[in-house]
Each structure stands twice: as C-alpha cells, then as structure tokens.
Amino acid sequence: MNKTSEILSVPWIRSSLILGGMLAAVGVALILVFKLLNLGSSPFFTDLKALVMKYGLAGIFIVTILAGTIVPVGSPALVVAAASFGVHPVPLTIVATTGFTVGMIINYVLAYGLGRPFVIKKLGMERLEEISALWNRWGWIIYVLFGIIPVLPVEFLALFCGLIKAQFGRFIVLSFIPRLIVFAFLSYFGTQLGWWLEIM
C-alpha cells in the first residue's frame, strides 16, 4: 500500500475529504444562485456585511482562535466571507493565520500539560492510534499536508504534537506557514468573489 492510499484508508480522513468536497460543491452552487438571483444587495447580505465590518479584524481573530482549537468553526469560510465583504486581504490573512495558530498552540499546550487522558477524551483511542500510525510513517509532512488542505482536521494533530512533546518552534512555524498560504489564497478568492457578486 502506498503512502497516499494509506492516508485515504483512515475513515475520518476520507470522510473529512468527502465532506469537504460536498461543502465546496454546495458553496459553488450557492454562489451561482446568489449571482443568478442578484442577492448581493439583499438585506441579508447588507446586515451580514455590517456585522463583519462592526467586529472587523478583532472578531475574525477571536473566531479563528476558536477554529484553531477543537471548536468546529469554519475559518476558511469566514476568511472568504470577510474578504467578500471588503476586509482588506493582507491584514485579514495575517490576523486569521495568527488567530488560527494561537488556537493550535492552545491545543498543543493543553495536550502537553494534561497528557494522554485529555487527548483520549478529545479524540478517542481509535483516532489517537490512527494519528500515531500516520505520524510514525510521515512525521511533520502529514502535519503540513493537513495544514494546507482546509477540510482536514489539523487541530487533532496539534493535540498529538503536544502529547508527544514535539519541538515547539517547528510546531509554530509549521502551524503558521501552511495556514498563511491557505488564508492568502482564500482572501484573494473572497475579494474576487465579492466583486463578482457585487457585495463589496
């Protein structure tokens, strides 16, 4: 079995990729419906834009900290939406990446300090064993891969890194850089989407 099929054989990774693909398809369909029905000027979008602008980068920072932990908040969708509503992509990318990295550090520190019982409570024994097997085979490569693909739960790996007391400096760099790349792309995409949907 090659390494790629080994990763895809893990049920929660496969289901994350399938769910991500389905959500992306639904997202594209909704974007097309919004464009066809010219919903960009509807009260819903006007109110949503006002909410994003009211809380701005501080709100994005707090939400992305939560997204970096186990709290299921869609940080990629948040970045696209904020950019679509006119939040400048450069500070948006930096703030979202920093917030997400802080959330990952929280996971690392909790697992480092509270140990195996805490991680098993959060992940379950089966998932922990699967992550351990992937880590033993791939090491930091799997961490970067999970960081670059938004639908993969890199937050689980942050817990694992804390549990095994992985080198903290490398952990921070490899938490920050992949998400910086992803959020930069999503900010650019969101900006273009905002112009296309006429909601900026």
pLDDT in single tens digits along all 200 residues of the chain: 566 676 777 777 778 788 878 888 888 898 888 888 887 777 877 888 888 889 999 999 999 999 888 777 788 889 999 999 999 999 999 999 999 999 999 999 998 888 888 888 887 888 888 888 888 888 888 888 888 888 788 888 888 899 888 899 999 999 999 999 999 999 999 999 999 988 87
Give the angle 177-15-143 at the CA atoms, nearest 5°: 25
Q: Is the separation of the CB atoms in 131 and 160 below 8 Å? A: yes
Terminal Cα distance for the chain, rounded: 48
Q: Is the separation of the CB atoms in 162 and 134 below 8 Å? A: no
The DSSP letter of residue 151 is T
Measured CA to CA, the distance from residue 10 to residue 15 in angstroms comes to: 9
> What total number of domains does the chain contain?
1
Measured CA to CA, the distance from residue 1 to residue 4 in angstroms comes to: 8
- CA distances in angstroms from 20 to 13, 36, 89, 152, 186, listed in the order given: 10, 24, 23, 8, 15
> So what's the pLDDT on residue 177?
96
The model's pTM = 0.83
> So what's the pLDDT on residue 49?
84
> So what's the pLDDT on residue 37?
85
Domain of 69?
Answer: 3-197
